[in-house]
């Protein structure tokens, strides 16, 4: 390619030089007066000029052909730009080099990375709503009256109160409950199924509440370290008469906290969490929405003073 360009340039310069000489001669031939010699030289100069023109045109064609082949090899016919990049190179720049992170020194602890598929994000467990007080029961079975045996479900008595409802077609519905809040009800249901009662399921709305539950004789109950109680409030110098109506839900106790100089108003005791939760709902409807249940410790039992009317 370089040789062709050099040939082309040389021929062009030579042609221009001959042309210049011819012009000078043509303007001064009359003054020189060489006659036939001048005419002969003129014809030779014209012939040389034509040959130079042919050489220049031929060199130009060769140059255009070579130029086309070079462009096809570099960019499928794209015309080189002034900065040396073809059109294809400009439209599709080379991607930047990827930075490679050097490996950590030997002995360095690398934290475990958990990769989660983006097309199937993990489902998050919804938080438990502390304000959910919806009542739920658990139906354990629906049996014929002749086949009913209360001992069948006696092993579940530690999870709640067992009750029986009359059902159509001479059947009985065995209920465990009541539990307040969906999360708590599902927790107990899971424990029931683990004990072999796999057909059990939830009944929303506390259907067992429609049955007359057995009345509890709190006078025969004594406080123990495992007893459940309800704390109504905590105040200074409480008036016992204001809480007389709550004795229908349990015995009334005062627990004095010397470090705070306040008295806690307590009712109970309850044998299990279910009994306490049922009584708590009644307490909240009577004007104590912040009341709560808790389990007694040995120290708290010794500090309780029963209020008798």
User: Is pLDDT above 90 for 280?
Assistant: no
Number of independent structural domains in the chain: 3
286: domain CATH number is: 3.30.70.1070
**Greater model confidence, 241 or 219:** 241
- What was the pLDDT predicted at 234? 95
Which of 210, 241, 269 lies at the terminal end of a domain, its last residue?
A: 210
Share of the chain above pLDDT 70, in %: 67
205 and 239 share one domain: no
Containing domain of residue 231, as a range?
Answer: 221-307
Measured CA angle at 151 (ends 145, 157), to 5 deg: 115
**Greater model confidence, 308 or 81:** 308
Q: What tens digit of pLDDT does each residue of 202-220 get?
A: 887 665 444 343 467 888 8
Q: What tens digit of pLDDT does each residue of 151-160 get?
A: 899 899 889 8
Which of 75, 105, 123 lies at the terminal end of a domain, its last residue?
A: 75
Which of 52, 75, 98 lies at the terminal end of a domain, its last residue?
A: 75
Looking at residues 304-309, what average pLDDT do you find?
Answer: 92
Asked which of 33-42, 43-52, 165-174 is least confident by mean pLDDT, the reply is 33-42
**Greater model confidence, 297 or 113:** 297
Does 113 fall in a domain? Answer: no
**Greater model confidence, 84 or 16:** 16
> For residue 163, what pLDDT band results from cuts at 50, 70 and 90?
confident
Query: CA–CA separation, 115 vs 117, rounded Å?
Result: 7
Query: CA–CA separation, 235 vs 73, rounded Å?
Result: 96
Token representation of residue 61: 């064609």
Q: At what angle do helices 2-32 and 36-75 cross, to 10 degrees?
A: 160
> For residue 113, what pLDDT band results from cuts at 50, 70 and 90?
very low
271 and 226 share one domain: yes
Does 123 fall in a domain? Answer: no
């Amino acid at each position: 390619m370089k040789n062709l360009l050099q040939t082309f340039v040389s021929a062009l310069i030579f042609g221009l030089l001959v042309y210049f000489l011819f012009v000078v001669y043509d303007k001064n031939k009359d003054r020189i007066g060489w006659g036939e010699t001048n005419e002969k030289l003129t014809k030779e100069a014209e012939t040389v000029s034509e040959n130079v023109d042919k050489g220049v045109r031929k060199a130009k064609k060769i140059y255009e052909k070579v130029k086309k082949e070079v462009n096809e090899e570099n960019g499928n016919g794209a015309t080189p730009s002034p900065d040396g990049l073809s059109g294809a190179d400009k439209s599709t720049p080379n991607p930047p080099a990827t930075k490679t992170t050097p490996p950590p020194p030997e002995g360095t602890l690398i934290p475990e990375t958990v990769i989660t598929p983006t097309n199937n994000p993990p489902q998050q467990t919804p938080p438990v709503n502390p304000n959910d007080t919806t009542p739920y029961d658990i139906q354990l079975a629906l049996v014929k009256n002749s086949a009913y045996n209360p001992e069948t479900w006696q092993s579940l008595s530690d999870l709640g109160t067992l009750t029986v409802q009359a059902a159509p077609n001479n059947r009985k519905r065995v209920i465990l409950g009541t539990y307040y809040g969906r999360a708590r009800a599902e927790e107990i249901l899971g424990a029931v199924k683990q004990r072999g009662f796999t057909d059990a399921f939830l009944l929303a709305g506390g259907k067992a509440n429609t049955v007359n539950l057995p009345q509890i004789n709190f006078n025969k109950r004594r406080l123990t370290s495992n007893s459940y109680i309800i704390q109504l409030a905590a105040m200074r110098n409480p008036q016992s008469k204001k809480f007389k109506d709550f004795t229908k839900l349990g015995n009334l106790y005062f627990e004095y906290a010397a470090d705070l100089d306040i008295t806690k108003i307590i009712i109970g005791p309850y044998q299990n969490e279910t009994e306490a939760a049922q009584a708590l709902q009644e307490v909240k409807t009577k004007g104590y929405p912040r009341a709560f249940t808790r389990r007694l410790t040995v120290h708290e039992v010794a500090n309780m003073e029963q209020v008798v009317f």
